[in-house]
Every structure is written in C-alpha cells, then in structure tokens.
Amino acid sequence: MALSAGLKARAGQNGQVSMELFLTRLWGRFPVPAVPFLDQDLAAENGRRHLALVLAYQGSEWAGWQIQPGLPTVQEAVEKALSRLCAHPVRAAASGRTDAGVHAWGQVAGFSTVSRLPAEAMLQGLRRLLPPSVFPLALGPVAPGFHARYSAQSKTYDYYLAPAMNCPVFLRSFLWPLPGDLREEPVRAALTLCLGDTDMRALSSGPPASSTAGPGANTVRRIMEARLDISPGLWRVRVTASGFLRHAMRNLVGILVRVGQGKLSPGQLVQMLTAGEKLYSAPKAPPAGLYLQKVRYAPHDVLAGG
C-alpha cells in the first residue's frame, strides 16, 4: 500500500475533537456542502431540470436510505415529498446507501424534474413535508452530467465512540459506549497503515455495492485520510476515501477497538487487508456511532464537460 508522507503525518497528529463540536452537530450546525451547484437553474433540452439535494437525518428512526418494502426509509420519504411538490413521480439517487441506524450530516441525492417550482421554494416545501428526523440542508441546480454517486470524488465518514462510558442510556443512539479504556497509540498506528490504495475486501460484509460480481470485483479504494481525534470521554475515527464497501467503516472500527484493547495489533490489521479476509475476530461496530459527514465532487464545469 502506497503511503503519502504528508497524509501519514496528518494522520499521526494528536488531533482533538471536542464534545462541544459533537453537540453542535446534533443541534444542527452541519458541514458546508461540497456540491457543485450551478449559478443558474436552467432546463435541459428535453425540458427537465437536474437538481441535487443535501440532507441530514437521524438514522435511528429509519431502516436506512434505500427503499425496502414495508419498512420506513429515507429515500421513500424524500421521493414522496418531492413527487408531491413536483406534481409527478420523482426518483432520487443518493451518493450511497446508509444502513439502518446510520446517521447523515451531508447525504447528497440527485433527481430530475419538469417542474418549474424554484429551488428555494422546493427546499422550503421539503422542510415542511418531511418528518423532523430528516432535514434538507440545501437544494440547487447541477450540471446534466452530475450523478450523486458516480460523480463523487470522495466521502468522509465519522465514527464516534465513548470509551469508559458509565451511563450510556441517553447517548447510545448517537455513539458507541464502551465499558473499558482503549489505548490510543496502537489505534493511530493502525489507521496510518490504512492510507493509500487499500483493498477493503477484508472489511466488507459483501460484494461492492457497485457490482454484482463477487470474486474478482474491484475492492480497492484510495484512503486519503484516516485519523483518530480525542477529547475527554469522546473518540472520533474519521476516514475519507474514494469510496467504501458495505459495512467497511463499521468493521474497521470494530477492529480498531480490538487494537485499542490490546487484543489485536496494527500488523494484524495489515495482514487482513493483504489477505483480503477477516483473519481475526472483531465485532462490527453498531450503526449508532456512524455519520456520513461529507461528499465531495469535481467542479460543475468538469461535470458539464466544459
């Protein structure tokens, strides 16, 4: 795995994340979207407008993003609201599927419509129609070539956990409370070893979401950032990558907890990544601590082919 010296240095920093920052996110101060919105809302030749929507949602109230028969999903709620506002059926394609219980601070979904309802009016309408656990942050026009998933250059996931938490009753829907202490230096070392072009097969709970193929499917993703930030009582594992496989982040955090407990070594994580198999036992971290933090895209002129 190729490692960038600059990224290694950044991942090895003694980063800190305050409980106040975590709480401001829960109170509604979300990351600034990195979506290439256009200055003008113009219809394409076929009369359809291409729009993107940035969402925050509390995952504990939903069975994930993707529509599932008989289960409440964010996609179904969003599409119903958009279809009502646009006066025709609307399909929304997200940057990726979040599982049941996983939260989002910056999920991105793209859709097209023949409706002429202004983007700001559509945004306000969504805020009225959607339940309180889903909050539309931004909505605007994008280039016809924009796709929320395939145009994404990178995604950042944050995982929050609380070592030695004595009373997890009120926070267990938002982070992973752990009964014992964890050692931070082995965890930092393990994260540094993940940087670069990394095969995520050992971290995945199934084949890549972008492929129906099993053996032989491309499971290599570029990890640009892998770091641990700590404040008293709160740990944040942040990973930015070109993409993620199913459950990769939760499985990685589960392995990191074993590393922090001294039950696995950073080198054993590398062994698993090299072998493409989960050679050593580790729990899958619960969904409550996972947040889709941000999705980044190329500038709109690149997506438009300009």
> What are the start and end residues of each CATH 3.30.70.580 domain in the chain?
37-145
- pTM of full prediction above 0.75: yes
pLDDT digits (tens, 9 = 90+) for 113-140: 999 999 999 999 999 999 999 999 999 9
pLDDT at 45 over 80: no
pLDDT band at 278 (very low <50, low <70, confident <90, very high): very high
Which structure tokens are listed for 264? 């696995």
User: How does strand 196-199 pair with strand 134-141?
Assistant: unpaired
* Block residue for tokens 């101060």: 29
Q: Which residues are catalytic?
A: 99
CATH 3.30.70.660 domain range(s) in the chain: 5-23+153-293
In sequence order, which residues have a C-beta less than 8 Å from that of residue 224 and are 6 or more positions away? Answer: 7, 154, 195, 240, 241, 242
Q: Which residue in 18, 26, 17 sits closest to 59, CA to CA?
A: 26
CATH of 37-145, one of 3.20.20.100, 3.30.70.580, 3.40.190.10, 1.10.3210.10: 3.30.70.580
Is the pLDDT at 6 greater than 60? The verdict is no
pLDDT tens-digit series, residues 102-113: 999 999 999 999
Give the dihedral of Cα atoms 217, 237, 268, 180; nearest 10 deg: -140
Give the DSSP per-residue string, 84-99: HHHTS----EESSPPP
For residue 258, give the 3-state DSSP assignment. helix
Predicted pLDDT of residue 51: 97
Which CATH number is 5-23+153-293 given? 3.30.70.660
| Planar angle of CA 101, 106, 108, nearest 5 degrees | 100
